[in-house]
Structures are given as C-alpha cells and as structure tokens.
Structure 1
Amino acid sequence: MAKQATAEKRQRRERGSINPDDIIKGAFELAEDVGIDNLSMPLLGKHLGVGVTSIYWYFRKKDDLLNAMTDRALKQYVFATPYVKADDWRETLANHARTMRKTFLSNPILCDLILIRSALSPRAAKLGVVAVEKAIENLVEAGLSPEDAFDTYSAVSVHVRGSVVLQRLYDKNRANHGGPGDFEETMVIDPDTTPLLAKLKREGHRMGASDDQNFEYGLECILDHAERLISAR
C-alpha cells in the first residue's frame, strides 16, 4: 500500500553534488514509500536534500525520470529471469514463467514501471530482446517450429503479465477504496440457483482471480499444447 505522499527532508546538499544515478536511486527509494503515481519532483528534491532545479537539470519532466527508472528496472528484470533450455524446455520454461511472476509480485514498483508503463519508454523495446530471441531459439531446437515457438513464448509472457497486472489492480483497488478488489468479490452466489459455483467456491476455487491455482492451470495448458505440437512434428 502506498503511503501518504510525503518525504522526510534531508540535510541540504551542496550545489552540483548530485548526479543522475543519485537521482534515479533516490526516486526508487521514494517510490517504495509513496508509489509511482504519487512520485513528484518536489517530493524527490526533499527526499534527496536538493533544490528541485537540480533534478530538472538532468530530467526536464517526470516522464523523463520515469523512463530512466524503467530502463534500469528492465535491466534488473532481465538479469533476474532464468534462461529457457532446449534439452529441458518444459521445466525451464515453467521455471522462467514462475520466476517472472514471483519477481513482479514481490516488487510493485517493478510491476508498475515494466508492465504498466514500459511502452512509454523509448529504450524499453530494445532491452531484453536478445534474451527473448535466445528463448525462442531454444524452443525451436526443442522441436517447435519458429512460429509455434514464438506463439508459445508469447502466450507464456501474456499469461504472466496478465496475472501480475490483475493482482496489482486488485491490490490498488483494495488500498484506494477499501472495497472489492475484483469482480468475483461482487458476485452473489446462491446455492439454490448456482449450486455448482457454490460448491467450487467452498472448495477454494476462484473465478478470474490471479491466484496460484489459476496461474498454474493456465501455464500447464500452454505447456501441454506446446508438447502436443512437438509430438506432432
């Protein structure tokens, strides 16, 4: 949950004593407290102990700063995700997907920068492409056609990102409004009219939720389909 958008004022730095790396590092620190949405140049200046003009010298507007943060977050993300191997494609691709999801769920700032706004970053499209190319190459080596390898990796990526963004929106709705986090929580399930739904809900099943059970089911469906395609070839 994002805290109130305030920052503790530090001792004032000397003029010219800050650089872009200091600013980006400080922006990540501040975002941990107030969230990306509430991050502002004046707050960041107070957090760093500099005048806001010192920040504008390097980043003319907030979007420029967010782009720089996104680029750094993408490098961190690419480094953290494991490779897909041809000789054990199913297990390594599944591990790749689970690690991506775990990384984003454990770091809301990474999620907001990469999954929600990375398309706005001019350099974001260039980062991570080599890793994706290698993953698809290894799926081709494992027996998929280039087209099927591309579609399989794309489906896994969409599945991971969709699951994480749904969870992030759920958390934001709960934090901002204190009410239902998703549509399932607003559903009225009457055992008399929808006995099957009532039974499954009692057993812990959740419709449209980004929980582990739904994520694993979808992931296994994608992997099973890929395995059938390899067998057919």
Structure 2
Amino acid sequence: MNTERRAPLDRRRVADAALTLLNEVGLDGLTLRAIAKELDVKAPALYWHFKDKQELLDEMATEMYRRMVAGTPLAPGDSWRERLLKSNRGLRAALLGYRDGAKVFSGSRFTGIVHAEQMEDNLRLFTGAGLSLAQAVRATGTTHVYTLGFVTEEQGVQPLPGERREGYDIEERARLMADFPLSARAGAELFQDYDQHFEEGLALVIAGIGAQYGIE
C-alpha cells in the first residue's frame, strides 16, 4: 500500500499543474479532466476550487505574474523609460515561457491583489515624472497591451522558443507573393528576428509617450 502523503489540493497547486501541462498540450488541449489526470485526482475534485475554465485561467495568470515579479526586480532609481523597458521585457520573457502564454494572460483577472504593490510603485514613479494619474495609466497600459499583442502574434508563429508552425517559411511566402515585391520582402520583417522587432516597437511606443505628454 502506498502510504506517501500527497500535498493537499489547493488553487495554487492546480494552477501550477495546469501551467506545466500547458506547454505539452496548449490552451485548446488544457481541460480540467487532463489537469485532474496530471494531479492523479478525479475531475470533480477540481470543481471545489474552480467553477469553470476561466476561473482556472485567472489563477494561472496570477501565478504567472507571481513568477514574473519574482524574476524581474525593479530598481527604485529607474526612470519612467527604464521602468517601461524592464517591465515589458520581463512580461514578454514570462509569457514566452509557456505555450499560448499570451493567450492565457490576456483578458484574465488576477485572483488577488498580488499586482497592487508593483502597480502602485509604477504609478508613483510616473506621476512623480510629471504625468497625471490618467496619463500614467495610459502610458503603462499602452505598453502592456503592445507587449501582449506582440507576443500573441509571435507565439502564433513560434509557439515555444525553437518551434515554428508550418506555413511560415519566408522563402516560400516570397515566392507565392512574387507579384507583390514589397509585401514579399516584408515577410522577413514580419516573421523572424522577433527580439529585434520587439525592442524597436517598444522603443517607438515609449518615444511616442514622451512626445505626447512632453516628458523626458
């Protein structure tokens, strides 16, 4: 008889198992039944903790955020530009660690106030730089949405680092679009060198914030 005691089942343990399974099956294949099998419990046991899949996604996004914050220390002396660079680079790195990470994170609601401390610190930094609270929210929110959208598109091509979906061969695309030479050549800008393109896009957004609100 196996007398080894398993850790008690709670929301965080379920979310941890779901994030592990996510890299194997992706968001479409992530079911409560599959997670229950991973945890060696019956599926109804999970409904004590989550009424539906969206509640589970909320907890998964919260756990992703906890891990991201733990791995992305922010210096008190950051300028507003440095803070936006660090925060969004950290967010992208965190999302890329999971298959469909951006899809899980987008539109999810944090299950506690784990984000409040960093949010307060960011808003204090931005209002201290001369922005109104509304402008500070817009600046941080716009870069956040840029990063989520960028990674969503990136993972549509490369679900995980080193993987690439069929249909995104740059040379084949250029051949098929030979009658549209600029569009054909644009494939190299759209579907490769994601690190460089993310940095360029983020720099554009940050420069726009500075110009729009007149802050250095």
Q: Same fold (TM over 0.5)?
A: yes
| Contact 1:84 1:93 (C-alpha < 8 Å) held by counterparts | no
> How far apart are 1:162 and its partner, in Å?
1.3
Structure 1 residue 112 and structure 2 residue 103: aligned? yes
1:179 alignment counterpart: 167
The equivalent position to 1:139 in structure 2, one of 116, 120, 126, is: 126
1:128 alignment counterpart: 115
Structure 1 residue 166 and structure 2 residue 153: aligned? yes
2:88 alignment counterpart: 97
Q: What are the superposed Cα offsets for residues 105-158 of structure 1, whole Å, 9 maximum, x if unpaired? A: 23335433212x41xx4737x542442232132122223344443332222112
Q: Which moved more, 1:70-79 or 1:157-166?
A: 70-79
| Contact 1:169 1:181 (C-alpha < 8 Å) held by counterparts | no
Q: What are the superposed Cα offsets for residues 1-43 of structure 1, whole Å, 9 maximum, x if unpaired? A: xxxxxxxxxx999999742244333333322322232122332
Deviation above 6 Å: which 4+ runs of structure 1?
A: 11-17
The within-5 A match list for 1:10-159 is 18-20=8-10, 21-83=12-74, 88-108=79-99, 110-115=101-106, 117-118=107-108, 121=109, 123=111, 126-159=113-146
CA radius of gyration, larger in? 1
**2:20 alignment partner AA:** E
| Contact 1:139 1:149 (C-alpha < 8 Å) held by counterparts | yes
TM-score by length of 1: 0.67
| Contact 1:41 1:52 (C-alpha < 8 Å) held by counterparts | yes
Aligned length: 209
> How far apart are 1:51 and its partner, in Å?
2.7
Q: Which moved more, 1:206-215 or 1:47-56?
A: 206-215
**2:166 alignment partner AA:** G
TM-score by length of 2: 0.71
2:215 alignment counterpart: 230
| Contact 1:30 1:44 (C-alpha < 8 Å) held by counterparts | yes
Gaps of 5+ in 2: none
